[in-house]
Amino acid sequence: MTRKVTDTDLPRVQLDLDAPAPAPAPDDELRSRLASAERLAAALFEGSLLPIVLLDESLRVLRANAAYCAFLGRSGDELAGADLLDLTHPADVAKSSRAMQQMLAGAASAVVEKRYLRPDGSAVWGRVRGSIMEGDDGRKVLLGVVEDIGETKQHEARLRFDVLHDPLTRLPNRTLVLDRLDQALHDAMESRQLVAVLHCDLDRLRVVNEVHGHAVGDEYLRAVARRIESALRDHDMVGRLGGDEFAVVAERVSTPTEVLGLTGRILDAVRQPLRIGSATLAPSLSIGIAYCQRASQTAEQVLADADAALNAAKRSGRGSWRLFEDGQRTWTSEHLALRTRVGAALTHGELELHYQPIVRLSDRATVGYEALLRWRHPERGLLTPESFLDVIVDSEYETPVTDWVINQATADAAHWPDGSAPTISINLTVFQLARTDLPRVVTAALARSGLPATSLIVEVTEDRFLERAEGVSQLSRLRALGVRIAIDDFGTGFAGLGYVQRLPIDTIKIDRSFVSLLPSHATSGHIVRAIFDLATACNLRVVAEGVETDEQLTALTGHGVGLAQGHLFGRAAPIGSYATD
Ligand code: C2E
Ligand code: CA
Ligand code: CA
């Protein structure tokens, strides 16, 4: 339905309320009342707090009131004759134009929520009620009354943001990551480009929380999030999946090399030392990479592949990356199956310690044993740590399993079959080393078994934690009990060797990877030599690990190494096999 408007409604209307009214003649009575009503209407238009605009059929501004001018940040002169669509945010031009075309084609009114452009390029949200009228000349006039809905839109946007983002890092959350990945997979099918997912895990977050407190842990997560972001390309997105896990969705990838470049940049960016308050942290990420391989793959499946690759990366050492391979997925389901059984393994006595001799090379006499964990799984047989340690580490079972190892190893040593009460080495993760109750647990185990503290050696791998005051004091507390400390897998951790002399340690164990390359690989020889010299200078014992051949033995002796373990001397075996008959 269209309503007639008179000439005076249109642009020529003036605010002339104060002009003297002509003396009313009796036949002019009606006309004068009309004129007065028109003036009032004009005043209402102009004085309305709601932005109002009149447009011609080609959507050009005929007249805008002061509120409309203010809303758009433009003067009436600027607006007069302007094309409405030029004043509209590009994203909303189509729907705006559609609504007006519908009215011009006969619809009486329309409501549109749209963004207007201000001269500074910013956008303002309005809900426009449009209606159509007909001028005296028969031409249509569009009337738009705008309601400022900026606040509502802001509120909506904030809600939407909160629902889809992680409050701590402000990164997209799991839902949004999956959503984006879904979209990326869809787009990739059309563009024939690759999509990759990088599943990243922040190493040792638990230790940071434990040692420095959760406030530092939070700051740590935020800083790492920003570092990952800084390494991304334009089309990449990073989100936080929860806990210590992030995912990067890399779109529009032409070659796998691009993804490896991205991975390298992320690892490098994160790896820089980080100061938070008084703490200096050495963040590192493990990364699993998966590509979308088949058109039928869902976002969840690609993410699960990347997760399986991540587990493989973590097993090969922190701070590294792995590409997804088909075999890894089964590993993950095995992983899950094992996880549900760890508690039962403890209570049903399925865990065992096997002992590998440590020998003196000069006369091949056994000087002690290393306790190595085994799981006698009812269905899968005897498992070595490689297949189940990840299930325990970082789970609620890590502490009970460690306590079990400490108690079992000390009891076994004290009751060794030949009555010799040999020196026994146990392995501890850094997280377990950081436990404040560890000295108490060790003291109790020694007291219960009757084993002298000097017969116990604790092996820990190199870790930045050892460089810090908390690490040193924790080692010192154990040392004060009389327990000895060995650095395990030496040479594989981080470069700084200087920290060794500051630690209250007794032994360095040269990692198997160097020994295995002896004697042909010259660099390994140099490394073994350097470690031996360092140890001698610091008055430490050296044990070479993983000695399998006579050639290796000869090479080690040549470098001055006096102690070793490995298949050449004996594999890890149950305590019963050391019984003398
Ligand atoms: P590790 O401390 O470096 O232990 C030495 C590993 O090398 C053992 O593997 C041992 O069986 C193996 N090995 C010994 N000699 C040779 C050799 O000549 N050649 C080869 N190829 N391998 C040899 P295992 O028992 O599978 O243990 C693997 C890792 O699991 C250990 O490495 C240790 O880091 C961890 N682990 C074992 N027991 C425990 C435990 O009770 N607690 C914790 N936290 N970790 C443990
Ligand atoms: Ca060890
Ligand atoms: Ca080792």
- Whether residue 92 sits in one domain with residue 183: no
Q: Is 460 exposed, middle or buried (0-12, 13-18, 19+ CB in 10 A)?
A: buried
Residue 85 clears pLDDT 70, i.e. is over it:
yes
Report the share of the chain in percent with pLDDT over 70. 92
Query: Are residue 496 and residue 356 in the same domain, yes or no?
Result: yes
Nearest bound ligand to the CA of residue 372? 1
pLDDT in tens, 373-416: 999 999 999 999 988 987 887 677 889 999 999 999 999 999 99
Q: Which amino acid is at 291?
A: Y
Measuring from each residue's beta carbon to the nearest atom of ligand 1, which residues come in under 6 Å? 356, 372-373, 384-386, 389, 405, 427-429, 459, 488-489, 545-548, 565-567, 572
pLDDT confidence of residue 298: 82
Q: What is the CATH number of the domain that holds 392?
A: 3.20.20.450
191 CA distance to ligand 2 centroid (A)?
Answer: 51
Q: How many independent structural domains does the chain possess? A: 3
Pick the closest to residue 329 from 308, 352, 303, 355 (CA basis): 308
Residue 201 has pLDDT above 80, yes or no: yes
* Ligand closest to the CA atom of residue 399: 1
Q: What is the model's pLDDT at position 518?
A: 86
Q: Report the predicted TM-score, pTM, of the whole model to 2 decimal places.
A: 0.56
Q: Cα separation of 518 and 514, whole Å?
A: 7
3-class secondary-structure state, position 102: helix
Nearest CA to ligand 1 atom 34: 427
Please give the Cα distance from 99 to 87 (Å, whole number).
15
Between CA 368 and CA 453 the distance in angstroms is 14
Distance 489 CA to ligand 3 centre (A): 4
Residue bearing tokens 């004060």: 480
Q: What is the mean pLDDT of the chain?
A: 88
Residues 566 and 536 in one domain: yes
Least confident segment among 95-99, 199-203, 470-474, 477-481: 470-474
Spacing, Cα 327 to ligand 1 middle (Å): 23
**Nearest protein Cα to ligand 1, atom 41:** 373
Q: Give yes or no: residues 329 and 348 share one domain.
A: no
544 vs 533, higher pLDDT: 544
Would 22 be classed as within a structural domain? no
Q: Are residues 370 and 302 in the same domain?
A: no
How confident is the model at residue 469, as a pLDDT?
A: 79
Same domain (yes/no): 441, 480: yes
SS3 of residue 418 by DSSP: coil
Last residue of a domain, one of 322, 337, 352: 337
Q: How far is the CA of 469 from the centre of ligand 2 (A)?
A: 24
- Residues 6+ positions from 581 with CB-CB distance below 8 Å: none
Distance 491 CA to ligand 2 centre (A): 14
Helix 385-392 × helix 299-315 angle, to 10°: 110
Could you tell me the distance, in angstroms and rounded to a whole number, from the CA of residue 563 to the centre of ligand 1? Answer: 17
Q: 360 and 311, same structural domain? A: no
Residue 198 pLDDT greater than 90, yes or no:
yes
Mean predicted confidence (pLDDT) in 419-443: 93
Select the more confidently predicted residue: 462 or 5: 462
Ligand 1 pocket test, candidate residues 342, 401, 427, 509, most atoms within 8 A of CB: 427
Q: Residue 20 pLDDT > 80, yes or no?
A: no
Decide: 350 and 375 in contact? Cβ < 8 Å: yes
- Summarize the confidence of residues 264-278 as an average pLDDT: 92
Query: What average pLDDT does this structure show over 228-254?
Result: 93
Q: Are 201 and 123 found together in one domain?
A: no
Which of 153, 180, 205 is the last residue before a domain boundary? 153
Q: Which structural domain range is residue 114 located in?
A: 48-153
Atom 22 in ligand 1: which residue has the minimum CA distance?
Answer: 546
Residues 43-73, buried b or exposed e (16+ Cβ, 10 A)?
eebbeeeebbbbbbeebebbbbbbbbbebbe
Instruction: Kindly tell me if the per-residue pLDDT of 189 is higher than 50.
Output: yes
Distance between Cα 442 and ligand 2 center (Å):
18
Predicted confidence at residue 498, as pLDDT, reads: 67
- From 316, 352, 372, 457, the mutation candidate for ligand 1 (largest count of ligand atoms within 8 A of CB) is 372
- Domain final residue pick, 302, 322, 337: 337
User: Is there a single domain that holds both residue 129 and residue 190?
Assistant: no
Asked whether residue 464 carries a pLDDT value surpassing 70, the answer given is no
Q: What is the CATH number of the domain that holds 304?
A: 3.30.70.270
Contact 279, 215 (CB under 8 A): no
In a domain, 20, yes or no: no
Angle at 21 between CA 16 and CA 23, to 5 degrees: 165
Nearest atom in ligand 1 to 354's CA:
25
For residues 355 and 369, the answer to whether their CB atoms sit within 8 Å is yes
Instruction: Determine the atom of ligand 1 nearest the C-alpha atom of 373.
Output: 38
